[in-house]
Amino acid sequence: MHEVPLAERMRPKTLGDYLGQGHLVGEDQVLRRSVEGGNVPSMILWGPPGVGKTTLAKIIAAQSGRPFHELSAVQSGVKEVREIIASVKRSGMFAGRAILFIDEIHRFSKSQQDSLLGAVEQGLVTLIGATTENPSFEVIPALISRCQVYVLKSFSEEQLKLIVTRAIQQDEVLSMRSIEVAEWEALFRASGGDARRLLNAVELLVGLSEGDQVVIDNAAVKSALQSTTVRFDKKGDTHYDIASALIKSIRGSDPNAAVYYLARMLAGGEDPKFIARRLVISAAEDIGLANPTALVMANETFAAIERIGMPEGRIVLSQCVIYLATSPKSNAAYAAINQAMRAVEATGDLPVPLHLRNASNQFMKDQGYGKGYQYDHESEQGASGQEFLPQGIEGSSFYLPGANSKEAGIRAAMKAVWKDKYNF
Protein backbone atom coordinates (compact mmCIF):
# COMPACT_ATOMS: atom_id res chain seq x y z
CA MET A 1 0.00 0.00 0.00
CA HIS A 2 1.14 3.52 -0.72
CA GLU A 3 3.10 5.06 2.18
CA VAL A 4 1.24 8.39 2.04
CA PRO A 5 -2.39 7.95 3.24
CA LEU A 6 -5.16 8.45 0.68
CA ALA A 7 -6.61 11.39 2.63
CA GLU A 8 -3.27 13.18 2.38
CA ARG A 9 -2.84 12.35 -1.31
CA MET A 10 -6.28 13.79 -2.06
CA ARG A 11 -5.82 16.96 -0.02
CA PRO A 12 -6.87 19.94 -2.23
CA LYS A 13 -4.13 22.41 -3.12
CA THR A 14 -6.24 25.39 -4.27
CA LEU A 15 -9.54 27.03 -3.43
CA GLY A 16 -10.79 25.86 -6.80
CA ASP A 17 -10.33 22.23 -5.76
CA TYR A 18 -11.55 22.80 -2.21
CA LEU A 19 -14.92 21.14 -1.64
CA GLY A 20 -17.58 22.57 0.65
CA GLN A 21 -17.71 25.76 2.72
CA GLY A 22 -19.13 27.74 -0.18
CA HIS A 23 -20.44 30.31 2.30
CA LEU A 24 -16.81 31.20 3.05
CA VAL A 25 -14.72 30.41 -0.03
CA GLY A 26 -17.26 30.44 -2.84
CA GLU A 27 -17.05 33.07 -5.55
CA ASP A 28 -17.17 36.57 -4.05
CA GLN A 29 -17.46 35.25 -0.47
CA VAL A 30 -15.70 36.96 2.42
CA LEU A 31 -12.79 34.61 3.04
CA ARG A 32 -12.08 34.07 -0.64
CA ARG A 33 -11.95 37.85 -1.19
CA SER A 34 -9.52 38.20 1.72
CA VAL A 35 -7.19 35.52 0.33
CA GLU A 36 -7.30 36.80 -3.25
CA GLY A 37 -6.76 40.36 -2.05
CA GLY A 38 -3.77 39.33 0.07
CA ASN A 39 -5.37 40.75 3.21
CA VAL A 40 -5.55 37.66 5.41
CA PRO A 41 -6.73 38.33 8.98
CA SER A 42 -5.98 36.21 12.01
CA MET A 43 -8.83 33.74 12.31
CA ILE A 44 -10.36 30.80 14.16
CA LEU A 45 -11.76 28.01 11.99
CA TRP A 46 -14.50 26.27 13.96
CA GLY A 47 -16.11 23.09 12.72
CA PRO A 48 -16.45 19.32 13.21
CA PRO A 49 -13.56 16.94 12.44
CA GLY A 50 -12.66 16.23 8.85
CA VAL A 51 -14.31 19.22 7.15
CA GLY A 52 -11.07 20.74 5.87
CA LYS A 53 -9.79 23.16 8.52
CA THR A 54 -6.13 22.21 8.12
CA THR A 55 -6.48 22.02 4.35
CA LEU A 56 -8.01 25.48 4.21
CA ALA A 57 -5.21 26.94 6.32
CA LYS A 58 -2.58 25.46 3.99
CA ILE A 59 -4.39 26.71 0.90
CA ILE A 60 -4.64 30.22 2.39
CA ALA A 61 -0.88 30.23 3.01
CA ALA A 62 -0.05 28.86 -0.44
CA GLN A 63 -2.36 31.17 -2.41
CA SER A 64 -1.29 34.26 -0.46
CA GLY A 65 2.40 33.33 -0.77
CA ARG A 66 3.05 33.35 2.95
CA PRO A 67 5.46 31.23 5.03
CA PHE A 68 3.50 28.53 6.88
CA HIS A 69 4.28 27.26 10.37
CA GLU A 70 2.16 24.49 11.87
CA LEU A 71 1.78 23.37 15.50
CA SER A 72 -0.51 20.89 17.20
CA ALA A 73 -1.82 22.10 20.56
CA VAL A 74 -1.77 18.47 21.75
CA GLN A 75 1.99 18.13 21.23
CA SER A 76 3.23 21.72 21.59
CA GLY A 77 3.38 24.40 24.24
CA VAL A 78 4.67 27.86 25.02
CA LYS A 79 8.26 26.89 24.15
CA GLU A 80 7.39 25.88 20.59
CA VAL A 81 5.22 28.98 20.08
CA ARG A 82 8.07 31.25 21.19
CA GLU A 83 10.57 29.45 18.95
CA ILE A 84 8.40 30.04 15.87
CA ILE A 85 7.81 33.69 16.77
CA ALA A 86 11.57 34.16 17.23
CA SER A 87 12.28 32.56 13.84
CA VAL A 88 9.72 34.85 12.19
CA LYS A 89 11.42 37.89 13.74
CA ARG A 90 14.77 36.71 12.38
CA SER A 91 13.32 36.33 8.88
CA GLY A 92 13.18 40.11 8.54
CA MET A 93 11.28 40.86 5.35
CA PHE A 94 8.83 38.02 5.97
CA ALA A 95 7.92 39.20 9.46
CA GLY A 96 4.25 40.04 9.59
CA ARG A 97 3.41 37.78 6.65
CA ALA A 98 4.03 34.38 8.23
CA ILE A 99 1.01 32.24 9.08
CA LEU A 100 1.07 30.29 12.34
CA PHE A 101 -1.46 27.46 12.18
CA ILE A 102 -2.40 25.83 15.48
CA ASP A 103 -4.52 22.70 15.25
CA GLU A 104 -6.88 21.99 18.18
CA ILE A 105 -6.19 25.41 19.65
CA HIS A 106 -8.87 24.71 22.29
CA ARG A 107 -6.35 22.32 23.89
CA PHE A 108 -4.07 25.24 24.79
CA SER A 109 -4.40 26.40 28.40
CA LYS A 110 -4.98 30.08 29.18
CA SER A 111 -1.26 30.69 29.73
CA GLN A 112 -0.41 28.97 26.44
CA GLN A 113 -2.95 31.09 24.59
CA ASP A 114 -1.58 34.19 26.33
CA SER A 115 1.81 33.46 24.77
CA LEU A 116 0.28 34.12 21.33
CA LEU A 117 -1.24 37.47 22.17
CA GLY A 118 1.75 39.74 21.75
CA ALA A 119 2.76 38.37 18.34
CA VAL A 120 -0.79 38.54 17.01
CA GLU A 121 -1.37 42.02 18.41
CA GLN A 122 1.89 43.35 16.95
CA GLY A 123 1.25 41.70 13.58
CA LEU A 124 4.34 39.47 13.77
CA VAL A 125 2.27 36.47 12.69
CA THR A 126 -1.15 35.84 11.24
CA LEU A 127 -2.76 33.25 13.48
CA ILE A 128 -5.05 30.56 12.10
CA GLY A 129 -6.45 28.38 14.85
CA ALA A 130 -8.54 25.28 14.21
CA THR A 131 -11.01 23.95 16.76
CA THR A 132 -13.87 21.49 17.02
CA GLU A 133 -15.11 23.23 20.18
CA ASN A 134 -17.07 26.46 20.56
CA PRO A 135 -14.34 29.15 20.54
CA SER A 136 -16.40 31.43 22.82
CA PHE A 137 -15.88 28.79 25.53
CA GLU A 138 -12.42 27.55 24.62
CA VAL A 139 -10.43 30.57 23.38
CA ILE A 140 -9.55 33.44 25.72
CA PRO A 141 -11.48 36.67 25.03
CA ALA A 142 -8.32 38.71 24.40
CA LEU A 143 -7.28 36.34 21.62
CA ILE A 144 -10.69 35.78 20.08
CA SER A 145 -11.24 39.57 19.90
CA ARG A 146 -8.22 39.78 17.59
CA CYS A 147 -9.47 37.04 15.27
CA GLN A 148 -12.26 36.52 12.79
CA VAL A 149 -14.27 33.41 13.61
CA TYR A 150 -15.33 31.36 10.59
CA VAL A 151 -17.74 28.46 11.05
CA LEU A 152 -17.15 25.43 8.81
CA LYS A 153 -20.13 23.20 8.08
CA SER A 154 -20.37 19.41 7.91
CA PHE A 155 -20.26 17.79 4.50
CA SER A 156 -23.55 16.73 2.95
CA GLU A 157 -23.94 13.14 1.74
CA GLU A 158 -23.64 14.35 -1.83
CA GLN A 159 -20.35 16.07 -1.04
CA LEU A 160 -19.04 12.94 0.71
CA LYS A 161 -19.95 10.89 -2.36
CA LEU A 162 -18.10 13.38 -4.54
CA ILE A 163 -14.99 13.13 -2.32
CA VAL A 164 -14.93 9.34 -2.72
CA THR A 165 -15.67 9.52 -6.45
CA ARG A 166 -12.81 11.97 -6.97
CA ALA A 167 -10.45 9.66 -5.09
CA ILE A 168 -11.50 6.61 -7.10
CA GLN A 169 -11.03 8.47 -10.40
CA GLN A 170 -8.02 10.69 -9.65
CA ASP A 171 -5.83 8.99 -7.04
CA GLU A 172 -2.67 7.44 -8.50
CA VAL A 173 -3.25 4.17 -6.61
CA LEU A 174 -7.04 3.79 -6.60
CA SER A 175 -7.41 4.74 -10.26
CA MET A 176 -5.51 1.58 -11.18
CA ARG A 177 -8.34 -0.58 -9.79
CA SER A 178 -11.98 -0.93 -10.87
CA ILE A 179 -13.83 0.29 -7.76
CA GLU A 180 -17.59 0.50 -7.36
CA VAL A 181 -19.46 1.78 -4.31
CA ALA A 182 -22.68 -0.23 -4.44
CA GLU A 183 -24.02 0.97 -1.06
CA TRP A 184 -23.19 4.11 0.88
CA GLU A 185 -25.06 3.87 4.22
CA ALA A 186 -22.41 2.00 6.22
CA LEU A 187 -19.62 4.18 4.80
CA PHE A 188 -21.45 7.32 5.90
CA ARG A 189 -22.01 5.91 9.39
CA ALA A 190 -18.38 4.89 9.69
CA SER A 191 -17.18 8.33 8.64
CA GLY A 192 -19.49 10.34 10.87
CA GLY A 193 -19.30 13.10 8.26
CA ASP A 194 -15.49 13.21 8.57
CA ALA A 195 -13.93 13.21 5.09
CA ARG A 196 -10.59 11.98 6.42
CA ARG A 197 -12.19 8.97 8.13
CA LEU A 198 -14.24 8.31 5.02
CA LEU A 199 -11.17 8.16 2.79
CA ASN A 200 -9.31 6.06 5.38
CA ALA A 201 -12.19 3.58 5.31
CA VAL A 202 -12.19 3.42 1.52
CA GLU A 203 -8.43 2.92 1.46
CA LEU A 204 -8.70 0.10 4.01
CA LEU A 205 -11.47 -1.64 2.05
CA VAL A 206 -9.53 -1.42 -1.20
CA GLY A 207 -6.39 -2.70 0.52
CA LEU A 208 -8.27 -5.71 1.88
CA SER A 209 -9.71 -6.60 -1.54
CA GLU A 210 -8.00 -8.97 -3.96
CA GLY A 211 -7.93 -8.52 -7.70
CA ASP A 212 -8.69 -5.45 -9.77
CA GLN A 213 -12.46 -5.54 -9.19
CA VAL A 214 -13.53 -3.95 -5.87
CA VAL A 215 -17.16 -3.65 -4.76
CA ILE A 216 -17.85 -1.65 -1.60
CA ASP A 217 -21.18 -2.39 0.07
CA ASN A 218 -22.62 -2.22 3.59
CA ALA A 219 -21.59 -5.77 4.48
CA ALA A 220 -18.00 -5.20 3.36
CA VAL A 221 -17.76 -2.00 5.41
CA LYS A 222 -19.12 -3.63 8.56
CA SER A 223 -16.86 -6.65 8.17
CA ALA A 224 -13.72 -4.59 7.59
CA LEU A 225 -14.27 -1.89 10.18
CA GLN A 226 -15.69 -3.79 13.14
CA SER A 227 -12.23 -4.83 14.29
CA THR A 228 -10.52 -1.52 13.50
CA THR A 229 -12.94 0.99 15.04
CA VAL A 230 -11.29 3.20 17.63
CA ARG A 231 -12.67 2.26 21.04
CA PHE A 232 -12.89 5.88 22.19
CA ASP A 233 -14.11 8.21 19.47
CA LYS A 234 -14.53 11.80 20.66
CA LYS A 235 -17.47 12.34 18.34
CA GLY A 236 -18.98 8.83 18.25
CA ASP A 237 -21.25 6.69 20.40
CA THR A 238 -18.41 5.41 22.62
CA HIS A 239 -17.58 8.99 23.58
CA TYR A 240 -21.08 9.52 24.92
CA ASP A 241 -21.28 6.04 26.45
CA ILE A 242 -18.17 6.61 28.57
CA ALA A 243 -19.19 10.16 29.50
CA SER A 244 -22.56 8.75 30.55
CA ALA A 245 -20.86 6.01 32.59
CA LEU A 246 -18.74 8.61 34.40
CA ILE A 247 -21.74 10.72 35.40
CA LYS A 248 -23.86 7.71 36.39
CA SER A 249 -21.00 6.35 38.52
CA ILE A 250 -20.81 9.71 40.32
CA ARG A 251 -24.60 9.72 40.74
CA GLY A 252 -24.41 6.18 42.12
CA SER A 253 -21.71 7.21 44.66
CA ASP A 254 -19.04 4.83 43.29
CA PRO A 255 -15.71 6.70 43.29
CA ASN A 256 -13.79 3.69 41.94
CA ALA A 257 -15.93 3.33 38.83
CA ALA A 258 -16.04 7.11 38.38
CA VAL A 259 -12.25 7.53 38.43
CA TYR A 260 -11.90 4.54 36.09
CA TYR A 261 -14.16 6.14 33.47
CA LEU A 262 -12.31 9.42 33.97
CA ALA A 263 -9.08 7.57 33.12
CA ARG A 264 -10.73 6.04 30.03
CA MET A 265 -11.71 9.48 28.78
CA LEU A 266 -8.29 11.01 29.41
CA ALA A 267 -6.46 8.05 27.84
CA GLY A 268 -8.69 8.40 24.78
CA GLY A 269 -7.69 12.03 24.30
CA GLU A 270 -10.87 13.67 25.58
CA ASP A 271 -10.71 17.42 26.06
CA PRO A 272 -10.34 17.92 29.85
CA LYS A 273 -12.56 21.01 29.67
CA PHE A 274 -15.39 18.87 28.30
CA ILE A 275 -15.02 16.62 31.35
CA ALA A 276 -14.88 19.62 33.70
CA ARG A 277 -18.10 21.03 32.21
CA ARG A 278 -19.84 17.70 32.79
CA LEU A 279 -18.69 17.76 36.42
CA VAL A 280 -20.18 21.25 36.93
CA ILE A 281 -23.51 19.96 35.63
CA SER A 282 -23.31 16.84 37.79
CA ALA A 283 -22.56 18.90 40.90
CA ALA A 284 -25.75 20.91 40.38
CA GLU A 285 -28.00 18.15 39.04
CA ASP A 286 -27.07 15.17 41.21
CA ILE A 287 -25.63 16.66 44.41
CA GLY A 288 -27.25 20.06 44.57
CA LEU A 289 -28.32 21.33 47.96
CA ALA A 290 -27.25 18.13 49.73
CA ASN A 291 -23.72 19.58 49.48
CA PRO A 292 -23.62 23.05 47.88
CA THR A 293 -19.80 23.05 48.12
CA ALA A 294 -19.75 20.46 45.33
CA LEU A 295 -20.69 23.13 42.78
CA VAL A 296 -17.91 25.37 44.11
CA MET A 297 -15.45 22.48 43.80
CA ALA A 298 -16.55 21.72 40.22
CA ASN A 299 -16.28 25.36 39.16
CA GLU A 300 -12.82 25.62 40.69
CA THR A 301 -11.84 22.44 38.86
CA PHE A 302 -12.89 23.98 35.54
CA ALA A 303 -10.90 27.14 36.34
CA ALA A 304 -7.84 25.09 37.32
CA ILE A 305 -7.99 23.09 34.08
CA GLU A 306 -8.02 26.38 32.13
CA ARG A 307 -5.01 27.64 34.07
CA ILE A 308 -2.74 24.59 34.15
CA GLY A 309 -3.92 22.33 31.32
CA MET A 310 -2.66 18.77 31.02
CA PRO A 311 -1.11 16.49 32.17
CA GLU A 312 -1.30 17.95 35.70
CA GLY A 313 -4.99 18.68 35.20
CA ARG A 314 -5.73 14.96 35.55
CA ILE A 315 -4.98 15.24 39.29
CA VAL A 316 -7.48 18.07 39.75
CA LEU A 317 -10.12 16.17 37.77
CA SER A 318 -9.51 13.05 39.85
CA GLN A 319 -9.93 14.97 43.11
CA CYS A 320 -13.19 16.52 41.90
CA VAL A 321 -14.60 13.25 40.55
CA ILE A 322 -13.91 11.43 43.84
CA TYR A 323 -15.34 14.33 45.87
CA LEU A 324 -18.54 14.38 43.82
CA ALA A 325 -18.92 10.59 43.94
CA THR A 326 -18.56 10.50 47.72
CA SER A 327 -20.87 13.48 48.36
CA PRO A 328 -24.50 13.06 49.54
CA LYS A 329 -26.91 13.29 46.62
CA SER A 330 -30.02 15.34 45.88
CA ASN A 331 -31.70 16.14 42.58
CA ALA A 332 -34.29 18.40 44.24
CA ALA A 333 -33.08 21.59 42.52
CA TYR A 334 -33.00 19.80 39.14
CA ALA A 335 -36.52 18.44 39.68
CA ALA A 336 -37.76 21.84 40.88
CA ILE A 337 -36.78 23.78 37.77
CA ASN A 338 -38.13 21.03 35.49
CA GLN A 339 -41.49 21.07 37.28
CA ALA A 340 -41.59 24.88 37.28
CA MET A 341 -40.85 24.94 33.53
CA ARG A 342 -43.71 22.52 32.94
CA ALA A 343 -46.01 24.78 34.96
CA VAL A 344 -44.98 27.81 32.88
CA GLU A 345 -45.62 25.86 29.68
CA ALA A 346 -49.05 24.78 30.94
CA THR A 347 -50.23 28.12 32.38
CA GLY A 348 -48.48 30.68 30.18
CA ASP A 349 -47.76 34.25 31.29
CA LEU A 350 -49.77 34.51 34.50
CA PRO A 351 -50.01 38.09 35.83
CA VAL A 352 -47.57 38.95 38.61
CA PRO A 353 -49.57 39.73 41.81
CA LEU A 354 -50.06 43.51 42.19
CA HIS A 355 -48.33 43.71 45.56
CA LEU A 356 -45.13 42.29 43.99
CA ARG A 357 -45.02 44.63 41.01
CA ASN A 358 -42.47 47.42 40.72
CA ALA A 359 -44.13 50.77 41.50
CA SER A 360 -41.52 52.99 39.86
CA ASN A 361 -43.77 56.08 39.46
CA GLN A 362 -46.95 57.60 40.84
CA PHE A 363 -49.12 56.34 37.98
CA MET A 364 -48.14 52.75 38.79
CA LYS A 365 -48.80 53.33 42.48
CA ASP A 366 -52.26 54.67 41.58
CA GLN A 367 -52.87 51.43 39.69
CA GLY A 368 -52.17 49.45 42.85
CA TYR A 369 -48.62 48.34 42.03
CA GLY A 370 -46.80 47.38 45.23
CA LYS A 371 -49.89 47.88 47.41
CA GLY A 372 -49.97 45.51 50.38
CA TYR A 373 -46.41 44.29 49.94
CA GLN A 374 -44.85 43.26 53.27
CA TYR A 375 -41.12 43.85 53.70
CA ASP A 376 -40.00 40.44 54.90
CA HIS A 377 -37.04 41.66 56.94
CA GLU A 378 -39.47 43.41 59.25
CA SER A 379 -41.27 40.16 60.09
CA GLU A 380 -40.46 38.24 63.28
CA GLN A 381 -38.98 35.24 61.47
CA GLY A 382 -37.53 37.29 58.62
CA ALA A 383 -40.27 35.92 56.36
CA SER A 384 -43.83 37.28 56.27
CA GLY A 385 -45.57 34.31 54.67
CA GLN A 386 -47.27 36.53 52.07
CA GLU A 387 -48.34 35.12 48.71
CA PHE A 388 -45.72 35.20 45.94
CA LEU A 389 -47.11 32.90 43.25
CA PRO A 390 -49.59 34.20 40.66
CA GLN A 391 -53.30 33.61 41.09
CA GLY A 392 -54.24 30.18 39.86
CA ILE A 393 -51.13 28.28 40.95
CA GLU A 394 -51.01 29.30 44.63
CA GLY A 395 -49.63 26.52 46.81
CA SER A 396 -47.85 24.73 43.95
CA SER A 397 -44.80 22.81 45.19
CA PHE A 398 -41.88 22.76 42.80
CA TYR A 399 -39.02 22.31 45.27
CA LEU A 400 -39.29 19.29 47.56
CA PRO A 401 -36.25 19.06 49.90
CA GLY A 402 -34.27 15.84 49.51
CA ALA A 403 -33.77 13.16 52.14
CA ASN A 404 -30.36 14.27 53.40
CA SER A 405 -29.14 16.11 56.49
CA LYS A 406 -28.55 19.43 54.73
CA GLU A 407 -32.01 19.59 53.19
CA ALA A 408 -33.64 18.30 56.37
CA GLY A 409 -32.70 21.68 57.87
CA ILE A 410 -34.13 23.47 54.83
CA ARG A 411 -37.34 21.46 55.16
CA ALA A 412 -37.70 22.44 58.84
CA ALA A 413 -37.06 26.13 58.11
CA MET A 414 -39.61 26.19 55.30
CA LYS A 415 -42.16 24.38 57.47
CA ALA A 416 -41.75 27.06 60.14
CA VAL A 417 -42.58 29.80 57.64
CA TRP A 418 -45.19 28.15 55.46
CA LYS A 419 -46.84 25.68 57.88
CA ASP A 420 -49.01 23.38 55.73
CA LYS A 421 -49.19 25.57 52.64
CA TYR A 422 -46.68 23.55 50.65
CA ASN A 423 -46.49 19.79 50.38
CA PHE A 424 -43.20 18.91 52.07
pLDDT tens digits along 215-242: 988 888 888 876 444 444 454 445 677 8
Residue 284: the pLDDT is 94
The answer on pLDDT for 295 being more than 90 is: yes
The answer on pLDDT for 1 being more than 70 is: no
Residue 239: the pLDDT is 64
Q: What is the average pLDDT across 341-351?
A: 85
Q: 112-126, 145-159, 222-236, 282-296: lowest mean pLDDT where? A: 222-236
Predicted TM-score (pTM) above 0.85:
no
Q: What is the average pLDDT across 320-344?
A: 91
Dist. CA 67–CA 84, nearest whole Å: 11
Q: What is the average pLDDT across 367-395?
A: 81
Dist. CA 101–CA 77, nearest whole Å: 13
Residue 278: the pLDDT is 93
The 3 state secondary structure assigned to the chain is CCCCCHHHHCCCCCCCCCCCCHHHHCCCCHHHHHHHCCCCCCEEEECCCCCCHHHHHHHHHHHHCCCEEEEECCCCCHHHHHHHHHHHHHCHHHCCCCEEEEECHHHCCHHHHHHHHHHHHHCCCEEEEEECCCHHHHCCHHHHCCCEEEECCCCCHHHHHHHHHHHHHHCCCHHHCEEEECCCHHHHHHHCCCHHHHHHHHHHHHHHCCCCEEEECHHHHHHHHCCCCCCCCCCCHHHHHHHHHHHHHHHCCCHHHHHHHHHHHHHCCCCHHHHHHHHHHHHHHHHHHHCCHHHHHHHHHHHHHHHHCCCCHHHHHHHHHHHHHCCCCCCHHHHHHHHHHHHHHHHCCCCCCHHHCCCCCHHHHHCCCCCCCCCHHHCCCCCCCCCCCCCCCCCCCCCCCCCCHHHHHHHHHHHHHHCCCCCC
Mean pLDDT (the chain) is: 85
Residue 228: the pLDDT is 43
Q: Which domains does the chain have, with CATH numbers?
A: 20-151 (3.40.50.300), 157-225 (1.10.8.60), 237-325 (1.20.272.10), 336-418 (no CATH)
The answer on pLDDT for 166 being more than 60 is: yes
Residue 63: the pLDDT is 87
Q: What is the average pLDDT across 106-114?
A: 85
pLDDT in tens, 76-87: 778 888 888 888
Q: What is the average pLDDT across 272-278?
A: 91
Residue 96: the pLDDT is 55
Q: What is the average pLDDT across 191-219?
A: 86
pLDDT in tens, 8-58: 898 888 888 888 888 888 888 888 888 888 788 899 999 888 888 999 999
